[in-house]
Amino acid sequence: MSASAVNLPAHEDIPDSVSDSSDISNEEGWEDVEPDEESNPVVGLFSEQVFPDARSMLKECKEKYNFDLLKIQKDLGLDFLDNIKLVNYVRSEVKKGNNTPDFSSKSKFEDDAYLKPVLEDDALLYSLDDLAEEGEESAPGTEAERQVLELQENLERLQTQFSEYRLAVQQSMDDQLSKEDQKLAESTPKPSSHAIDRHQEAEDGYFVSYAYNAIHESMLKDSIRTDSYRDFVYENKHVFKDKVVLDVGCGTGILSMFCAKAGAKKVIAVDNSNIIDRAKEIVHDNGLGDVITCIRGKIEEVALPVEKVDIIISEWMGYGLLFEAMFDSVIYARDRYLVPGGLMAPSHATLRVAPYADPDFIASHISFWHNVYGFKMDSMLHKIYDEALVRSNQPETIVGEAQTFYTLPLHTITVEELSFLKEFQVTLNQDIDSLDGWAIWFDIFFMPSCESVLPEDAIPTEMQKKGIVSFTTGPHGTETHWQQTICLIDQAKHKAQPLKKGQTISGKVGYEKTEKGARGVDISVQWDSDAEKGVQLWSLL
Give tens-digit pLDDT for 257-305: 999 999 999 999 999 988 999 999 999 999 999 999 999 999 999 999 9
Residue 121: which region, alpha, beta or left (left: phi > 0; alpha: psi -120 to 50)? left
> Would you list the DSSP string of 472-502?
E-STTS---TT-EEEEE--TTTS----B-TT
**Band of pLDDT at residue 345, cut at 50, 70 and 90:** very high
Cα of 375 vs its chain's centroid, Å: 32
Segment among 304-308, 328-332, 384-388, 531-535 with least mean pLDDT: 531-535
Whole-angstrom distance, CA of residue 194 vs CA of residue 171: 20
Q: Are residues 352 and 307 in the same domain?
A: no
Nearest Cα neighbor of 494 from 541, 457, 526 is: 526
Whether 315 is a known active-site residue: answer yes
pTM above 0.85, yes or no: no
Higher pLDDT, 33 or 221: 221
Quick one: what percent of the chain has pLDDT higher than 90?
50
Whole-angstrom distance, CA of residue 87 vs CA of residue 72: 11
CA angle 200, 204, 208 (to 5 degrees): 170
Count Cβ atoms below 10 Å from residue 136 Cβ, excluding itself: 15
State the average pLDDT over residues 443-447: 97
Segment among 109-113, 140-144, 187-191 with least mean pLDDT: 187-191
Q: Report the CATH number that the domain containing residue 256 is assigned in CATH.
A: 3.40.50.150
Is the pLDDT score of 10 beyond 80?
A: no
Examine residue 148 and state whether it is found in any structural domain, yes or no: no
Most confident stretch, 26-30, 157-161, 366-370, 409-413: 409-413
State the average pLDDT over residues 324-331: 89
State the average pLDDT over residues 208-224: 64
pLDDT of the residue at 466:
94
Whether 324 is a known active-site residue: answer yes
**Considering the chain, what is the average pLDDT of its residues?**
82
Q: Are residues 401 and 448 in the same domain?
A: yes
Q: Are residues 464 and 528 in the same domain?
A: yes
The domain of 388 spans 348-540
pLDDT of the residue at 385:
92
Bridge partners, 540 (sequence order): 521
Q: Are residues 420 and 464 in the same domain?
A: yes
Q: Of 71, 98, 114, which residue constitutes the final position of a domain?
A: 114
Q: Are residues 354 and 471 in the same domain?
A: yes
Is residue 346 a contact partner of residue 410, using CB atoms and an 8 Å limit? yes
Higher pLDDT, 392 or 167: 392
Q: Are residues 510 and 452 in the same domain?
A: yes
Bridge partners, 353 (sequence order): 403, 440
Is residue 263 a contact partner of residue 237, using CB atoms and an 8 Å limit? yes
Whole-angstrom distance, CA of residue 199 vs CA of residue 196: 5
Is the pLDDT score of 207 beyond 50?
A: no
Whole-angstrom distance, CA of residue 490 vs CA of residue 436: 8
Examine residue 181 and state whether it is found in any structural domain, yes or no: no
pLDDT of the residue at 26:
42
Annotated catalytic residue within 27, 315, 423, 512: 315
Q: Are residues 373 and 489 in the same domain?
A: yes
Contacts 24+ apart (CB under 8 A), 464-471: 469/228, 469/231, 469/232, 469/235, 469/445, 470/228, 470/443, 470/444, 470/445, 470/446, 471/224, 471/225, 471/228, 471/443, 471/444
Whole-angstrom distance, CA of residue 275 vs CA of residue 346: 23
pLDDT tens digits along 18-53: 334 334 334 344 444 444 444 568 888 988 888 888
Whole-angstrom distance, CA of residue 254 vs CA of residue 265: 16
Q: Are residues 306 and 384 in the same domain?
A: no
Whole-angstrom distance, CA of residue 522 vs CA of residue 147: 47
Contacts 24+ apart (CB under 8 A), 62-71: 65/99, 67/103, 69/131, 70/131, 70/134, 70/135
Q: Are residues 418 and 526 in the same domain?
A: yes
Is residue 257 a contact partner of residue 329, using CB atoms and an 8 Å limit? no
pLDDT of the residue at 161:
55
Q: Of 91, 114, 137, which residue constitutes the final position of a domain?
A: 114
State the angle between helix axes of 275-285 and 254-261 in degrees (0 to 180), rounded to the nearest 10. 30
pLDDT tens digits along 506-530: 999 999 988 776 778 999 999 998 8
Examine residue 466 and state whether it is found in any structural domain, yes or no: yes
> Rg of the chain over CA atoms, in angstroms?
25
pLDDT tens digits along 104-122: 888 888 888 888 888 877 8
Is residue 251 a contact partner of residue 210, using CB atoms and an 8 Å limit? yes
State the average pLDDT over residues 92-101: 88
Segment among 115-119, 163-167, 493-497 with least mean pLDDT: 163-167
Examine residue 85 and state whether it is found in any structural domain, yes or no: yes
| Alpha-carbon torsion angle 456, 457, 461, 462, nearest 10 | -40
State the angle between helix axes of 69-76 and 54-65 in degrees (0 to 180), rounded to the nearest 10. 80
Annotated catalytic residue within 93, 324, 416, 532: 324
Q: How many domains does the chain have?
A: 3
**Band of pLDDT at residue 16, cut at 50, 70 and 90:** very low
Q: Between the CA of residue 248 and those of 228, 229, 252, 349, 482, what are the distances in Å?
A: 17, 14, 12, 17, 19
Bridge partners, 43 (sequence order): 50
